[in-house]
Amino acid sequence: MTENGLSHIHRFVPATAPNLPPLLLLHGTGGDENDLLGLGQQLSPGAALLSPRGKVLENGMPRFFRRLSEGVFDEDDVRHRASELAHFVQEARQAYGLEAPVAIGFSNGANIAAALLYRHPDVLAGAMLLRAMVPLAETPAGGLQGKPVLLLSGGMDPIVPADNAARLASALSTAGADVTHEVLPSGHGLTRMDLELAKTWMAKRA
């Protein structure tokens, strides 16, 4: 299903297994609402999947917020789009009868998921941040006590500097999140090791 009158174009796949947290799937630059459905099904078979399309276009490619250049974000737009996405999640929870979701974000999608944790911590039950960067210069306001967060970084990632990912992990931990940060021998793309670590982490959320 796609729009259903909600504020983001999206796909929704109903749950086929009981008692699994729904997944909020957030694509990378140039992706869309279909990109991470297969990943979501692998990570938590039978979970409900909610996958919105980013509203910002960069050279025709969907994103979740504007950037000024590679790795330099328009922070006013990050804050605006995070609030917009938080509103969509609340809409979708009412429309589809969902609990708070666990976000699964890749690259730009991971960055907007991190912004949700910074700005709207109650929206998510947890988050898996795949190749994420610090989304905002401000630190999280708190409210993340015990919230599970998996951050998977690439040690050879040409886009996300190692110190940036480490700062993100530290900021979320300071705000109370239960952060697991793994640095893998990979670049910006996902590997089989990412999938195995992600599946193990997700199994603990069931």
Which residues pair with residue 61 across a beta bridge?
58
Specify whether 153 is catalytic: no
Strands 72-73 and 67-69: antiparallel
Q: Could you tell me if 151 and 168 are in contact, meaning their C-beta atoms sit under 8 angstroms apart? A: yes
Q: Which of these is catalytic: 35, 120, 157, 194?
A: 157
SS3 state at 25: strand
- How many Cα atoms are found within 13 Å in the side-chain-facing hemisphere of 44? 32
Tokens read off for 57: 């276009």
What's the residue count for the chain?
Answer: 206
Choose the catalytic residue: 51, 107, 153, 186.
Answer: 107
The alpha helices in the chain, defined as continuous H runs, are 37-43, 75-96, 108-119, 162-174, 192-203
- Let me know if 188 is a catalytic residue: yes
120 catalytic residue (yes or no): no
Give CA–CA dist 86/134, Å, rounded.
Answer: 18
The β-bridge relationship of strands 126-130 and 102-106 is parallel
Catalytic residues: 107, 157, 188
